[in-house]
Amino acid sequence: MTVCKYWYFTSVLCLVPFNLSASSDLPTNSEAEGKPIVIKSKTIITSELMNSPDKELFANDQATHQQFQIAKDWVKNITQNVSGIHYFDKLAEVYLAIGYGQIWQDQIAIAEFEEQIRILSLTKISSDLTRRYQNLKRYKKNSDWRYYDILATDTLFAYMGFIEGIQKKGNLWLFGDISPGVFPAPSETFINSFLHNYEKQNFRYFISQLKPQKNDYIKLVEALDELIDIKDMRWPVFLFKGIIRPGQYVNNMDGVVTVLETLGDMTFFEAENIRSKNNTYLSSSVVVSIKRFQERHGLKVDGIIGTETQQWLALSIRQRIRLLALNAQRLRLWSVQPSTGIVVNIPNYHMKLWLDGEKKLESKVIVGHPSRQTPMIDSDIQSVVFNPYWNVPNSIMKKDIMPKVQKNRSYLTNNNYEVLKGWDSENKISINTIPYHLLSPNDFPYRLRQKPGKRNSLGLFKFNFPNSQAIYLHDTSSHSLFDKHERALSSGCIRVEKAKSLAKVLLEYSGSSEQRFNNLYRSKKTRTIVLGNGKFVPVDLIYQTAWVDELGVVNYRNDIYMYDRVQGKIVY
């Protein structure tokens, strides 16, 4: 691979349907002549290697430096009229490595790449990517193939940097955190993969693999494109006055019908029938459609146009497009339907369990209050605890329990709490022997533990999975809370309505008999059962506010933690 391959750039451009005169932008014969580049093991030449003191890394070190400088000058020259270029050294490295060839020739790869950038730009997490997409379309329309090629390559680096950056869930670009103005440059490993596929003529395959390889993603994009077809539609304006119940007057009934029809909750014939009657009251036929609308938006299905139903009716097409695009990108981090695993969708207050491709269990759950959020975690359930003790976290002890103890010293005894000397001690202390001044939330030096039993806050089952935040799934002694529609009520852990069924399924999956489960359940003893036969079950705590379900219905959920918001930006 030598610099003299730069002639390929000129010859190829003669074969594509774009007007281009590029030779003046390329290195001259005298600059490139007689200066071979040695690339060990097909590894791209990097600026770090160029500046390395190790003279054995390259043959003809001086020539290599000269050629890299030529490449940087070439990039600088050709990008003078191209706005938004960020990765100058990476561009020099790549174009030098391929002999200044034209990268973007495959029309299928181009279309696939533009489509992925289009979807990502709709999330509005990066104004830089949005500008890039618009400029790419402009250069393509004007047949500015030189500018298109180098901007597309630079945009590919930004996109690769985004993909690598979000793989750690601590990076909250997709969850309302401040997104970068410029994404970090991709790793050398990622760039080498790009070059390898380009050299092997697998470029279109490489590009296609950059999007989430999940059917969930495809469904969301299809739903998104249906909305894009009507994005310029004038959305109704509502001036609701209070809660509207069945039979009551509706201001702008035609607008309500338009929304329900447009979003698929009312058929064309149903809508026309209502319009023909000039109905201005919340009739039974409209109530049926309102209930469909409420069900797929995670609202209370009562046919009443209350505050939340009104807000969702007023949400415009463009706002919905962004929600679908944002949640499509979140599918890079998880699947909403794994082959084997538990998925808890936090804003949906719901849990599903799949084993070997078959859905085994669904259950309502209670998640963390917005002030004590349930974190997004992926781990494996490794054990089930029967009749668990509850070791009270310090935060809950200080905020919730000790203020009650200050008012009533009998509170701990009445609720089956034990006081232990410390976190590393099993020595119990009588509450009556503790000086009153130590009952202050900030001064209490002991550990609180609630004894097993039906009154235990964890209920009868606890499901352990390794994580650094002391989060787990568990039963509860307050099952009446599952009757509430909004269930962001816990201190961070997840309460499972069907905890007994979950424990039974997990034990049977790991090889335990039904008889063994029944014996453990009837016993009053605290027992920790490790899931046998290596049958640890993956668990994902996810945050998905839009998805397409098994029936092809688009679902939306309230953004309980405000993760869908658009934030400012910072530059890395």
CATH number of the domain within which 482 lies? 2.40.440.10
Mean pLDDT of 19-33: 39
Amino acid 569: pLDDT: 54
The stretch 83-106 carries a mean pLDDT of 92
Would you say residue 114 lies in a domain? no
Quick check: is 462 in a domain? yes
Residues 437 and 501 in one domain: no
What residues make up the domain containing 269? 253-315
Residue 88 above 60 pLDDT?
A: yes
Q: Which of 432, 450, 468 is the last residue of a domain?
A: 450
In a domain, 324, yes or no: no
State the pTM of this model.
0.86
Which stretch of 81-90, 159-168, 362-371, 430-439 has the lowest confidence by average pLDDT?
Answer: 430-439
- Between 131 and 394, residue with greater pLDDT: 131
Q: Is residue 539 part of a domain?
A: yes
Distance CA 440, CA 403 (A): 8
- pLDDT given for residue 137 in this prediction: 95
Do 293 and 261 share a structural domain? yes
Distances (CA, A) of 55 to 94, 475, 478: 22, 65, 71
436: in domain: yes
Same domain for 63 and 90?
Answer: yes
* Co-location of 491 and 360 in the same domain: yes
Decide which of 473 and 50 is more confident. Answer: 473
Same domain, 379 and 469: yes
Q: How many domains in the chain? A: 4
Extract the tokens encoding 25. Answer: 């932008």
CA angle at 558 for the pair 556 and 564, rounded to the nearest 5°: 90
Instruction: Give the residue, 55 or 382, on which the prediction is more confident.
Output: 382
Query: Confidence class of residue 31 from pLDDT cuts 50, 70 and 90?
Result: very low
Residue-level pLDDT at 532? 86
Mention every residue, 6+ apart, whose C-beta is less than 8 A from residue 444. 397, 398, 402, 438
Q: Which residues pair with 488 in a beta bridge?
A: 367
**How many whole angstroms separate alpha carbon 271 and alpha carbon 254?**
9
Structural Rg of the chain based on CA atoms: 30
pLDDT classification of 410: cutoffs 50, 70, 90: confident
Average of per-residue pLDDT across 131-136 = 95
Q: Could you tell me which residues come within 8 angstroms of residue 19 by beta carbon, excluding any fewer than 6 positions away? A: 143, 145
Whole-number pLDDT of residue 300? 95
The reply to whether 31 and 85 lie within a common domain is yes
Does the pLDDT value for residue 61 go beyond 50?
yes
> What residues contact 363, with CB distance under 8 A and at least 6 apart?
350, 351, 496, 497, 498, 499, 501, 502
Residue 303 is predicted with a pLDDT of 96
Q: Is the pLDDT of residue 16 over 60?
A: no
Select from 538, 549, 217, 530 the least CA-distant residue to 377.
538
Same domain? For 298 and 311 the reply is yes
pLDDT for 212: 94
Residue 235 lies in a domain: no
CA 549/CA 527 separation, integer angstroms:
38
Instruction: Find the mean pLDDT for residues 497-517.
Output: 96
Among 72, 97, 122, residue at a domain's last position: 97
Mean pLDDT of 247-261: 95
Q: Identify the pLDDT of residue 170.
A: 55
Taking residues 214-236, report their average pLDDT.
94
220 domain-assigned: no
Lowest mean pLDDT segment, chosen from 17-31, 52-66, 515-529: 17-31
Among 97, 130, 153, which residue terminates a domain? Answer: 97
* Contacting residues for 461 by C-beta, under 8 A, at least 6 apart: 384, 385, 386, 388, 474, 475, 496, 499, 500, 502, 503
Co-location of 350 and 481 in the same domain? yes
What local confidence, expressed as pLDDT, does residue 181 receive? 81
Q: Do 444 and 341 sit in the same domain of this protein? A: no
The answer to whether residue 196 is domain-embedded is: no
Which range, of 130-134, 208-212, 409-413, 433-437, averages the lowest pLDDT? 433-437
Same-domain check for residues 305 and 403: no
- What does pLDDT average to over the chain? 87
Please state the rounded mean pLDDT for residues 309-314.
Answer: 96
Contact 244, 304 (CB under 8 A): yes
Task: Note whether 446 and 532 are same-domain residues.
Answer: no
pLDDT value, residue 174: 92
Q: What is the mean pLDDT of residues 188-201?
A: 95
- Who contacts 273 (Cβ-Cβ below 8 Å, separation ≥6)? 285
> Are 294 and 439 in the same domain?
no
pLDDT recorded at residue 60: 53
